[in-house]
Amino acid sequence: MPKKIYEEIREQLVSIKDAGMFKTERVLNSAQGNEITLTDGRIVTNFCANNYLGLSNNPEVIKAAQKTMDDWGFGLSSVRFICGTQDIHKQLEDKVSQFLGKEDTILFSSCFDANGGVFEPLLHPESAVISDALNHASIIDGVRLCKAKRFRFKHSDMEDLEEMLKASHDCKYRLIVTDGVFSMDGDIAKLREICDLADKYDALVMVDDSHATGYVGKTGRGTPEYWGVTDRVDIITTTFGKALGGAAGGCISGQKDVISLLRQHARPYLFSNTIPPAIVGGVLKVLDMLTNSSKLVRKVKSSADIFRQGMIDAGFDIVEGNTAIVSVMFYEEPLAIKVADRLLELGIYVIGFCFPVVPRGKARIRVQISASHTEKEVQECIAAFEKVGKEMNILK
């Protein structure tokens, strides 16, 4: 007898497909990079990876990861507090702390886990979390796991944030939490104003800088550097899975007692395995590279500026911004998908983003620029968009 639930799961899948919301995965036949190979052998230029610094397949990073694996092994088979902490894990925590300008850092297998572990130990039922409406799913889930009261402010709306600070005045401690860079529009959180409000109402500030660490700010230290508020942000969570080599891993950085308490109580830290040595070695290398030179940071910024201006000149509707995420608006879902499909035929790999990833009627193609894109590749991307725009008669 087939179990009844399988039937229901099949029906759910059918209804996801019927609604046009079934996500399929295009399979790559190569390493991540500017040029990627599809399974049919076609080589296309990738403009939709979070590979902002172009380090996902960098030879120096790979070599460092290989060397670390040779020296320290493949895995630790342990959580940190039993026998899973090596010298290199402490080195990486120190280096991240220095890089982000914080006292201490705790490593996680992902930033999803970091966000899953950060709230519950710090915020008890008499406290409050005040969260931007467009925060990442992992922040939403992390907040769900804690017992603090929940407040949500309209996306980047400082008046609404102030309302929420007033509404939560009787809570013992308040924590304002925001993404540093919002992934769908590529806009930067108004951290200076957030810090001002936090001072005024005696709240803590937490920034998830996953889409910023490594390339936003003059030397790539992220949105606190961009706004000059490094000392005023209490907690930073971020990922190593985007600009910093793109493999995996994440962390929380902040004041040393906060980090010490998280080592005692953060559940994804206590009950999940240590990050493997190869990744630790690779990320250490990336941080060395970034500490020695900001060349890649400047490169991704200038390429993104060129792309953004080129697209505006071509007559596209671009979400205003100052990051390597450039969202090209098409509004109608089928149009965004059609344009992305046609661009792939022209050798440009991008994806149409539709509901529920973005609001209904706000379909777009999110282009992500990398420091490793050549100027020629950037220009070819603009030219391909322009060609499709003309074919489909959608330019302003």
Ligand X SMILES: *Cc1c(COP(=O)(O)O)cnc(C)c1O
> Residue numbers of the site for ligand X (CB under 6 A)?
110-112, 136, 138, 179, 183, 208, 210-211, 239, 241, 250
Q: What CA–CA distances, in Å, run from 235 to 140, 195, 203? A: 16, 12, 12
d(CA 247, CA 173): 35
CA dihedral 135, 141, 143, 145 (to 10 degrees): 180
Residue with Cβ nearer ligand X (161 or 275): 275
Q: Report the residue number, 207 or 336, with the smaller CB distance to ligand X.
A: 207
Interatomic CA distance for residues 163 and 170, integer angstroms? 13
Cα separation, 389 vs 338, whole angstroms: 11
**Nearest to ligand X of 102, 242 (CB atom):** 242
∠ CA 154-156-161, rounded to 5°: 60
Closer by beta carbon to ligand X, 58 or else 138: 138
Catalytic residue among 97, 183, 210, 370: 183
Residue type at 170 in one-letter notation: D
Report in angstroms how near the CB of residue 345 gets to ligand X at its nearest: 29
Tokens found for residue 102? 């914080």
The residue annotated as part of the active site, out of 211, 285, 301, 362, is 211
CB of 208 to ligand X, least distance (A): 4
- Catalytic member of 242, 285, 299, 373: 242
Please check whether residue 235 is in contact with residue 258, taking contact to mean a CB–CB distance below 8 angstroms: yes
Helix (H, G, I), strand (E, B) or coil at 57: coil
Find the distance separating the first CA and the last CA of the chain, reported in whole Å: 60
- Counting every residue written for the chain, the total comes to 396
**In degrees to the nearest 10, what's the CA dihedral of 261, 266, 270, 271?**
170
DSSP H or E segment with residue 166? helix 158-167
Q: How far is the CB of 146 from ligand X (least distance, A)?
A: 17
Our answer to whether residue 155 is catalytic in this structure is no
User: CA 134 to CA 126: how far, in whole Å?
Assistant: 24
Of 168 and 210, nearer to ligand X (C-beta) is 210
- 47/385 with CB nearer ligand X: 47
What is the SS3 assignment for 234? Answer: coil
- Is residue 362 among the annotated active site residues? no
Is 183 one of the catalytic residues? Answer: yes
Distance of closest approach, residue 335 Cβ to ligand X, in angstroms: 26
Q: Mind telling me the catalytic residues? A: 183, 211, 242
